[in-house]
């Protein structure tokens, strides 16, 4: 696929279209070039404010968090995007392997979606759902057709946080119960209500958040106390030994015992619900033992609770084998929440549930000014019309080779184009690679023309969630760059 190299240097020319990576062998002067995959799109020349002025305004007028989440020592000043590519204000081109935090599902400025937006902009930008307009009805019907019975009632929102906020309220109203359970490491939003569902210190503030939210141990078969080499539904398993007999999973049994402990000690006898992502996203692309969710759903329903599948990151074909992440677990949730890829980056979210669960919610008035906006619905409808080819299995298998090659690559996991690479100090201790080391590798990867993400409780997992239009050539280019970034870090460490 690509040569093993000792140094990789990026050279950019023109508008970045002809970026070239030069592979040099240490053994001699022989030099081969690996070209960044071509792109038939030429970005407009940037003629806006200077980078210095942008940073000045960012510091003075934007909220303090924007200064903390630029990711890189040398920030990227993005100007334009097309499909899997981004260009900065200097014209340098980058392969986007993070898709605006797993949000640009089809591709930047995806032609069909762009056309739908332009046509709707000329017809009607906004009117609220107090009027009957065709876009909201057409989209609700189309979205419901992608979900199994009885999930046919759609509520449209503006974000994933808002969708989970609404789902928690609905679960409490329908069941008459209050307590909700999530997994440790989870992220379900940053609103006052969903802050209780989120179980990750990074996103917590020292203020009172939603009461009645509890968490159980995340069944992480790599970092958790239990796990083996046959636990998860993924082309790549952990390197931990497995002594389970056929058809048995001791790790699953132990994590279920942890949930039982929470149910028997921390919550009331009847609960409102259980929230989980089919694959944990910001928690580090964590995958559970194969039957974990199926057994959890059964137990939660016995306690009077509803099962909520947070598909904000796993929905709309992201996991490759299924349209929804929950389908791979053999379950049907009571409520499904979604956002991010739902409208290819346009602000939108949704909650889908059954008529029975929705009925008590109608006893009051829930009104969302922008939910069901005709422009949002038209864009989201165009997203549903597309089928995305993915190269995720190829990426996973090749990343597994890098795990075998480098001591600091502890685990590779995921499905489709929802991939995590967990970094460690060494494979024996599995201690997380320090944040400064993670940032070094990310900076190097960026300087060679590829953008990736980061997550996990300790910020130790690289997140690979590109637009679903990427090609095998794009994947191989990323793999070569990532390989070199790991090599460069190991060289500096010596």
pLDDT digits (tens, 9 = 90+) for 167-183: 999 999 999 999 999 99
State residue 486 phi and psi, 5-degree precision: -65, -45
Q: For the chain, where do the domains classified as CATH 3.90.1150.10 start and end?
A: 7-97+389-493
What pLDDT sits at residue 12? 40
What pLDDT sits at residue 130? 85
Residues 265-291, mean pLDDT to the nearest whole number: 96
Q: Give pLDDT tens digits for 138-161.
A: 999 999 999 999 999 999 999 999
The residue whose two tokens read 């280019």 is 477
Sheet holding 273-276, edge to edge: 153-157, 349-353, 335-338, 306-310, 273-276, 180-183, 213-216
Helix, strand and coil in the chain, % to nearest 5? 35, 20, 50
What pLDDT sits at residue 473? 95
Give the contacts of 9 (CB within 8 A, at least 6 positions apart). 21, 22, 24
CATH number of 114-384: 3.40.640.10
**7 pLDDT exceeds 80?**
no
Q: Please say whether the beta carbons of 388 and 321 come within 8 A.
A: no
Q: Please say whether the beta carbons of 235 and 393 come within 8 A.
A: yes
pLDDT category, 361, cuts 50, 70, 90? confident
Could you name the CATH architecture of 7-97+389-493? Alpha-Beta Complex (3.90)
Sheet holding 31-35, edge to edge: 7-11, 20-24, 31-35
Q: Give pLDDT tens digits for 43-76.
A: 999 999 999 999 899 888 887 766 666 788 889 9
Q: How far apart are CA 223 and CA 430, in angstroms?
A: 7
Report which of residues 439 and 207 the model is more confident about.
Answer: 439
**pTM of the model as a whole:** 0.92
Q: For the chain, where do the domains classified as CATH 3.40.640.10 start and end?
A: 114-384
Dihedral, 331, 332, 334, 337 alpha carbons, nearest 10: 90
Q: Report H helices in 354-449.
A: 355-358, 374-384, 392-405, 435-447
State residue 336 phi and psi, 5-degree precision: -120, 130
Q: How far apart are CA 277 and CA 293, in angstroms?
A: 10
Q: How far apart are CA 85 and CA 302, in angstroms?
A: 48
Q: How many CB atoms lie within 10 A of CB 400?
A: 19
Q: Give pLDDT tens digits for 362-399.
A: 888 888 889 999 999 999 999 998 766 679 999 999 99
The residue whose two tokens read 């799109």 is 41
């Amino acid at each position: 696929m690509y040569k093993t190299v000792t140094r990789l240097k990026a050279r950019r020319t023109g508008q970045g279209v002809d970026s070239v990576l030069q592979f040099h062998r240490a053994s001699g002067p022989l030099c081969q070039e690996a070209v960044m995959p071509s792109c038939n799109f030429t970005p407009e020349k940037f003629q806006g404010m200077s980078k210095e002025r942008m940073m000045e305004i960012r510091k003075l007028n934007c909220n303090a968090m924007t200064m903390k989440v630029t990711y890189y020592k040398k920030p990227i000043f993005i100007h334009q995007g097309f499909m899997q590519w981004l260009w900065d204000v200097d014209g340098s081109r980058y392969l986007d392997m993070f898709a605006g935090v797993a949000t640009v599902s089809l591709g930047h400025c995806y032609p069909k979606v762009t056309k739908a937006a332009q046509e709707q902009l000329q017809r009607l930008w906004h009117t609220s759902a107090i009027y009957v307009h065709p876009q909201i009805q057409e989209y609700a019907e189309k979205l419901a057709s992608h979900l199994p019975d009885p999930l046919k009632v759609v509520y449209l929102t503006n974000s994933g946080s808002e969708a989970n906020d609404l789902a928690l309220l609905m679960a409490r109203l329908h069941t008459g119960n209050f307590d909700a359970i999530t997994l440790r490491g989870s992220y379900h939003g940053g609103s006052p209500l969903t802050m209780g569902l989120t179980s990750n210190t990074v996103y917590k503030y020292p203020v009172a958040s939603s009461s009645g939210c509890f968490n159980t141990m995340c069944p992480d078969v790599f970092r958790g106390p239990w796990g083996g080499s046959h636990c998860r539904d993924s082309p790549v398993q952990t390197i931990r030994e497995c002594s389970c007999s056929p058809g048995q999973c001791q790790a699953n049994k132990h994590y279920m015992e942890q949930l039982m402990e929470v149910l028997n000690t921390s919550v009331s006898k009847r609960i409102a619900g259980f929230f989980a992502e089919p694959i944990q996203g910001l928690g580090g692309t964590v995958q559970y033992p194969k039957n974990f969710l199926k057994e959890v759903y059964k137990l939660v329903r016995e306690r009077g609770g509803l099962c909520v599948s947070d598909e904000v990151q796993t929905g709309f074909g992201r996991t490759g084998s299924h349209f929804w992440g929950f389908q791979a677990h053999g379950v049907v949730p009571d409520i499904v929440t979604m956002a991010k890829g739902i409208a290819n980056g346009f602000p939108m979210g949704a909650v889908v549930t059954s008529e029975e669960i929705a009925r008590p919610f109608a006893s009051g008035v829930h009104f969302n000014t922008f939910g069901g906006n005709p422009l949002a619905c038209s864009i989201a409808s165009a997203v549903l019309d597309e089928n995305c080819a993915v190269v995720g299995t190829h990426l996973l298998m090749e990343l597994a080779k890098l795990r075998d090659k480098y001591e600091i690559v502890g685990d590779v996991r995921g499905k489709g184009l929802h991939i995590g690479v967990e970094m460690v100090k060494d494979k024996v201790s599995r201690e997380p690679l320090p944040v400064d080391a993670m940032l070094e590798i990310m900076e190097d990867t960026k300087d060679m023309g590829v953008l990736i993400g980061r997550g996990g409780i300790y910020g130790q997992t690289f997140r690979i969630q590109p637009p679903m239009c990427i090609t095998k050539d794009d994947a191989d280019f990323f793999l070569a760059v990532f390989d070199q970034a790991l090599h460069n870090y190991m060289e500096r460490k010596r």
